[in-house]
Structure 1
């Protein structure tokens, strides 16, 4: 009987082998709403709607649920979460593809088009003010292995992923011996003994072999597999019941009527030969057995490129309504961005006179006046060399045209493309002077309160009647 529920069995510590229950803690205490589709395009109808505490799934070669395909499926998770102002770091790892969107329109991570399968991706986002924010994660599985992991935290805490990504699934190359019994208790002599390549079968409503009835039968699968030492997770999904022994230890015991759940156990194995035994029982109706084994391991996350070799010594909270972040500890140095009251950023150093602090803002190092920053334990922050103040660059001449951020706040970037660093924002409804454009007018080169950069035309509407050809191509 195909059912649409997932579960995890609690596993106890047994002799000689360590076991742990699978984690089930919601990110920031807020669960994710998940919509699962039996296609890779997130197209209706929804095959499964459920609440997931975390996005930390390793389905291996299986599927998320009995009602969802093992291949060519997709998932959309969403949550609305309360965040304090500051910079947040996101981590994502998936096979095949994953996309993380912040507050409906800001794409932080997207491997749908790049094909970066199995790579740990990171991205930072600035939260301008404390409040409620919407986070959406889209996932796509085509064929083969399937897993999805996402976590995030305030960058001031120097976060790491809160998941253990999977190592390549162990190869169970040795054959299995299966003994079929014409009863549900595996008593007496087996009516058939066969060698099979895997214990995974979907018998439907028919007989497993000719000498065994279609209902009220049982089977025992055994195999010895040569594996590397490490931590493994085994899962069973079945109709009706099954139990799993590893090296003689009973790990999963659901030898009864079907519950529609997937049962998992996490344990450690020594290197070399390890014995697996799966007992299966069928009472009536559909009959299937799915067994997966995955190995977990720690990996070192790929750092955000601009953070290489940078140490964080404290945090700084902005006390001014709005504070300029400059290229050097000098009030005449170039403004590279602006930050807002109550936002918190990592501190990487201070000036020799102690009047300026070097901050990490949106993956850029810049200097903020200590008069408008609260920095705990500032005496522990080391003095760092500062570049000589650069002369203020000449501001490009503005045209007579303006653009308006609509309908959302729009990011200002250092170049005409989302791959360029964000250097500021234009709040929704505010205007900026146009100084240029790219060749196809999909990006505007603008000057907003002294910040010269680029905004995407889709969210920065130019005034009605503007002669695009009169705007010089500047990038």
Structure 2
């Protein structure tokens, strides 16, 4: 009996020690930083002074964190072959839906960079060579426009901007934020938001009247009407035609941005072949407003390289014909070889 009691007492002691250990050794809660993301538009210059002309533009979704090493810069979709590997500069712009509060901004660059918030300088390390990390605490009253100006001289190239909610005293005052320009749908009940500035690009959302959408960039490749890259919501950006978009603000300050379509096809051929069921116009891009490259006869076979979709159906196909690559309407093409689901959608 005494032995049993001793074992019970020992077991109770072990249980108490386990509970105490759980209390004293519980890990600290993890603080998640930079919960607010941003879509950045970058303009690149083949000089170190941000002087015209702009030789390339790039799109960076969710964050600006790039390590280009010794090579040319790239964006989310391609290498920017127009930009020198050394002695170039760039300006990146984003409108970020911050909540009111204090934030610590951390700017890392090689070679130099500066950060402006709502037009006011916050960090200025532009022109200084080598790897550097500089930070500043800023008080924000809500959404803000961020501009990062970057310069690369020689050797390694990288740029990264981060922000974290913090406490303390703001070191830099900021003015009332305002987007460079906004667009509002007019004369229609809904306006398509697409993956590119073309009537045949895939539709990702529908913009509605009485909503002011921040405008991020513009494009005129389709001709006739200017297309605008809009911030549809916190997670979605896309292109809408200026035909039904009333612009408030100076649209001339919006950067010119080229979508992914001029760089297609950018994946290996999937072995899918289509057969035309009509005489087809081969267009430069997925829109009947873009230049006519050739006519494809009825019954011709064409390799299919890319496609767009609308309403759950294939909309336009990017095909090869007589050494040319262009776009044709998918409704008049039958699949004669391969699986169309293997062809990438843009």
Question: Could you tell me the TM-score, scaled by structure 1's length?
Answer: 0.28
- From the two aligned structures, give the one with the greater helix fraction: 2
Structure 1 or 2, whichever has the larger Rg, is: 1
Question: Could you tell me the TM-score, scaled by structure 2's length?
Answer: 0.38
